[in-house]
Structure 1
Amino acid sequence: MTHFIYLVRHGEHLDAEHGLVDGPLSPRGQRQASLIADRLSGVPFDSVWHSPLERAAETARILAERMPSVTPESSALLFDCVPTGLDADVPSVYEPFFGSITDAEIDAGRAQMADAASEFLMRRQGETHELLITHNSVISWLVREVLQAPDWRWMTLNQAHCGLSVIAQKQGRPWTLLTHNDLAHLPFELRTGLPETHPV
């Protein structure tokens, strides 16, 4: 028996490029959500959880329209957050990221992710399929947890809007990363949300 957790980042939200921290999905974000919903429509989900933020809640609603047997529930453990701060292990290239982040925000994020790992990475009985619709940092942290990588490495793991990552645990075995940021369901023009990369 295996416990599967499907991790989906919310769709692109409206006016995200203008610096708004939350909002409804953009038309592109709605298409992204519809396509991940189609991709996952055959999975027998036991539960669907989403961040309380609007962009994640709307993504969950679009999925639920294609999966009438599930009722998405909100979880504060899936809020967007910053789970670690700047310490000696963090490469200096990441220093600018922490410029506007307060110690209180980091402490809250660290505590939230500890609780999220305890809650969601707890072994369930029998064959279980859970879906978490959340944010880049939360997915990065849970994947990092599964890989048992150093804490700061969550910053090197990124997910596109409505990208799919899957982790799983067979009875008596450690958690395993099955797939990370799978975008096969999204055409190229809908693959948004990843950091800019420049060829060497």
Structure 2
Amino acid sequence: MKTELILLRHGETEWNSQNRLQGHRDSALNPEGQRQADALAARLVSVSFSALYCSDLGRAVETARRISARTGHAVTPDARLRERGLGILEGLTREEARERHPDVFAEYSAGAPDYVVPQGESTSQRLRHAVECLSELGHRHRGGRVVVVTHGGVLSLLFRHSLGIPPQAPRTFSVLNAGWNQFDYHPHDGTLRLVTWGDVTHLTATSRDDT
């Protein structure tokens, strides 16, 4: 009795477009991000699912609310679905972070799973929170389907976790804004299995409809 988890990345934000590290700080969806969230909502109208969850950070909540407005599902925020806290690096572009905090940025970029960014957290801490949350949802909605709006960093960690890719291995895959990713949770052994990754066909369909 697997549970289907449709994991969505929030729409593009102002800081995404500026290549700024967001972490637990927030930036509103820009016009493109709003369009992306609405495209997700339009796709989900024809999908049967039992519940809608999201990170409690504003960009994920805004994306989820746009989905809710079309599907009628209540939005349930959960802090365990947050992006990794990046502490003193938050709000900086990568170039600014490298210049102002060279040692910290180097450690962050190296990807060691237990490295804690000052005033932030490690990837292993964030992954533990996310897996705990998804396992709980998998049991709560056993045999069903739920939608979860979360963040690029969390999705990247879950991708690696499900495929056994070390956290420090160079990233050779994309994590797209408003990307549609499906993981199946198997309650009998607690495993997450990747089914679909990075599907953005709803975005191109919306673009065609707008022309």
Residues 163 and 181, structure 1, Cα contact 8 Å, conserved in 2:
yes
Amino acid at match of 1:105: G
| 2:127 corresponds to | 113
Corresponding residue to 2:74 among 55, 71, 86: 71
Q: 1:151 is matched with which residue: 167, 184, 187?
A: 167
Give, in whole Å, the separation in 1 of the partners of 2:107 and 2:132: 30
Structure 2 equivalent of residue 5 of structure 1: 5
CA contact (8 A) 1:137 1:154 kept: no
Moved more, 111-120 or 15-24: 15-24
| Alpha-carbon separation, structure 2, partners of 1:58 and 1:154 | 31
Q: Which position in structure 2 is the counterpart of 1:136?
A: 152
Give the conservation status (yes or no) of the 8 Å contact 2:2–2:184.
yes
Q: Is the 8 A contact 2:108 2:117 kept in 1?
A: no
Q: Structure 2 counterpart of 1:163, which letter?
A: G
**In the alignment, structure 1 residue 102 sits paired with structure 2 residue 117:** yes
TM-score, normalised relative to structure 1? 0.74
Q: Quote the residue 1:196 is aligned against.
A: none
Give the counterpart of 1:181 among 179, 198, 208: 198
Unaligned runs of 5+ in 2: 87-104, 111-115
Q: Are 1:52 and 2:56 counterparts?
A: yes
The alpha-carbon distance between structure 1 residues 179 and 152, as it changes in their structure 2 partners (threshold 3 A), is same
Q: CA deviation at 1:98?
A: 3.5
State the identity as a percent. 27
Find the aligned partners of 2:29 and 2:184 in 1 and give their Cα distance.
29
Instruction: Give the structure with the higher percent helix.
Output: 2
Q: For residues 135-191 of structure 1, what are the alpha-carbon distances to aligned partners after superposition, in whole Å with 9 as ceiling and x for unaligned?
A: 10101111222212223348444311101110114565743211101111112998x
Report the TM-score when normalising by structure 2.
0.71
Cross-structure match for 2:47: 43
User: Secondary structure of the equivalent of 1:146?
Assistant: helix
Separation of aligned partners in 1, 2:109 and 2:45: 39
- After superposition, the Cα gap between the structure-2 partners of 1:166 and 1:72, relative to the gap in structure 1 and judged at 3 Å, is same
- Number of the residue aligned with 2:93: none
- After superposition, the Cα gap between the structure-2 partners of 1:154 and 1:118, relative to the gap in structure 1 and judged at 3 Å, is farther
Flag the 1:117–1:20 CA change in 2: closer, same or farther, 3 A.
Answer: closer
CA RMSD of aligned residues (A): 3.0
Alignment size in residue pairs = 177
Is this contact kept in 1: 2:81–2:133, CA < 8 A?
A: no
Could you say if the C-alpha distance between residues 65 and 103 of structure 1 is closer, same or farther in structure 2, counting changes exceeding 3 Å? same
Give the corresponding residue for 2:176: 160
Instruction: Work out whether 1:61 is the aligned partner of 2:65.
Output: yes
The answer for unaligned runs of 5 or more in structure 1 is: 84-93, 191-200
Secondary structure of 1:73's match? strand
Which has the larger displacement, 52-61 or 154-163? Answer: 154-163
Per the TM alignment, residue 97 of structure 1 is displaced from its structure 2 partner at its CA by 5.1
